[in-house]
Amino acid sequence: MKLFNYSKYKDVRWDNEILGYISQIHEFKGRLSNIELKNKSKVNKLVDIAKIQSTEASNKIEGIVTTSTRIKQILNNKTTPKNRDEKEILGYRDVLNIIHENYEYIPLKSSYILQLHGELYKYSEKSIGGKFKNVQNYITETKADGSSFIRFQPLEPFKTPEAMERLCEEFNITSSKFDVDPLILIPIFILDFLCIHPFNDGNGRMSRLLTLLLLYKFDYSIGKFISIEKIIEETKDKYYDALQISSIGWMENNNNPTEFIKYMLSVILKAYRDFDTRAKSLIENKSKALTQVQDSINTKLGKFTKSEIVALCPTLSETTIERCLKQLLNSGTIQKHGERKSTFYTKTNK
C-alpha cells in the first residue's frame, strides 16, 4: 500500500544546496513584497505577460500548441478556439485566472482538484474533465531509434481516489504544524501527485497549476509576475530527469525526492531573480531604451528572440525594441539568424 508520511521530513537534514535555495528564495520573497508594495502599478505590468507565457508554455510541454498571435487573442477574448488544442488552451487560461483570483478560497482537497480539472476541460469534447482516471496510464519514454518503453507505471485507477484523499490530508496536516518548510513540502506533494497520475489526461498541466496554487497559499506570489511554467518548459529535460530519479522506488515507499525538490527550488529561485531584474528595469524607468534593451540581452544565455526581449522590457513598445535591435545589429553587438518566424539573435564576443 502506498503511504504518505510528510511529518518524517521534519527530521531530515537537507544538504547545503537545498538550504541555499531556500535561504535565497526567502530573501527574494521579502524583496518582492517590498517592491510590490511601493511600486504596485508598475510591477503589475508584468502580470498579463506572465499569464500569456504560463498558458503557452504549460500547454507546449504537452504538445498542445497554437501561434503566439492566437494565444494572445484567446487569452484576451478576441477570438474563439478553432480546434482541440485551442479549446484546451482556453481551459488552462480559465483555471489560471481562477487560481490567481481565488487561491485563498480554494482548499487543497481532492474534490476541489477535480473541479479544477473539470474547468481545464470545460471547452473540450473529451468527457474526462473532473473525473479520475478509469484506465491504467503509463509514463513512457522514446529512445533515439524511435522505440518506446514504460519508464514508470502510476497507481492503479481503483486506488486513485483514496490515494488523492490521503495525499491532500497528509499535506494539510503537516503544513499546518509549520515544522517542515513549505518549499520542501510543495515539491514533494507535486512529485506524489505526478506519480499517482490521477487523470486520464492533463496531469502535467494540473501539476503546474497546483504548484502555483500552493505557492500562493504560502505567500510565494512570484507566479503572478513571472511564468514558472515557462521556466519549466525551457528546462524540461532537467524536469523529466529529476522526476525520473525521484520516482524510483515510489510504489515501494522507498523513493528519495531530493532531486525533484532541488529542481523545483531552482525554478522558483530563477523566477524571483527574473522578477528582480525586470522590476528594477520598470522602477528605474531608464531614459535610454537602447540601454534597457541591451541590459535585458545581457541576462540571456545563448540565443534569444525579439519576443523574449519584449517580455523583459514591458515599458517599451515593440517598435522601439525593433529599432534598438537594429542599432545593436549595426554596431555588431548582436547577430541575427534565420528569417521571419524563425528569427533569433545571439550576442557577439565583443
Q: Which of 256, 135, 106, 278 is nearest to 200 (CA)?
A: 135
pTM for the whole thing?
Answer: 0.82
Q: pLDDT by residue for the chain (350 residues), tens digit each?
A: 789 999 999 999 999 999 999 999 999 998 888 887 677 777 888 998 899 999 999 999 999 999 988 998 998 889 999 999 999 999 999 999 999 999 999 999 999 999 999 999 999 999 999 999 999 999 887 777 888 888 889 999 999 999 999 999 999 999 999 999 999 999 999 999 999 999 999 999 999 999 999 999 999 999 999 999 999 999 999 999 999 999 999 999 999 999 999 999 999 999 999 998 888 777 765 447 888 899 899 988 889 999 999 988 887 888 989 999 998 998 889 999 998 888 999 998 76
Cell 530527469: give the residue.
Answer: 241
Q: Tell whether 1 is covered by a domain.
A: no
* Amino acid sitting at position 134: N
Task: Please give the pLDDT value at position 177.
Answer: 95
Q: The domain that contains 313 carries what CATH number?
A: 1.10.10.10
The domain tally of the chain equals 2
SS3 177: helix
- Ranges of beta strands (E only) in 45-121 are none
* Amino acid sitting at position 107: P
d(CA 135, CA 157) in angstroms, rounded, equals 6
Q: Tell whether 103 is covered by a domain.
A: yes
**Cα–Cα–Cα angle for 93, 96, 99, rounded to 5 degrees:** 150
d(CA 162, CA 110) in angstroms, rounded, equals 9
Of the residues 282, 303, 331, the one at which a domain ends:
282
Q: Which of 47, 124, 21 is nearest to 311 (CA)?
A: 47
Q: Tell whether 261 is covered by a domain.
A: yes
**Cα–Cα–Cα angle for 97, 98, 100, rounded to 5 degrees:** 60
User: What is the torsion angle, in degrees rounded to the nearest 10, for the CA atoms of residue 180, residue 184, residue 187 and residue 190?
Assistant: -10
Q: Is 163 in the same domain as 307?
A: no
SS3 336: strand
Do residues 333 and 295 touch, judged by C-beta distance below 8 A?
no
Q: Which of 153, 158, 165, 157 is nearest to 248 (CA)?
A: 153
Do residues 239 and 263 touch, judged by C-beta distance below 8 A?
yes
Q: Is 140 in the same domain as 98?
A: yes
**Cα–Cα–Cα angle for 72, 76, 226, rounded to 5 degrees:** 65
- Exposure of 198 in the CB half-sphere (CA atoms within 13 A): 26
CA 61 from centroid of its chain's CA atoms = 10
Cell 515593440: give the residue.
Answer: 318
Of the residues 241, 265, 282, the one at which a domain ends:
282
Q: Is 167 in the same domain as 291?
A: no
Task: Please give the pLDDT value at position 27.
Answer: 94
Q: Is 123 in the same domain as 200?
A: yes
Q: Which domain holds residue 296?
A: 287-347
Task: Please give the pLDDT value at position 287.
Answer: 47
Of the residues 247, 264, 282, the one at which a domain ends:
282
d(CA 4, CA 163) in angstroms, rounded, equals 9
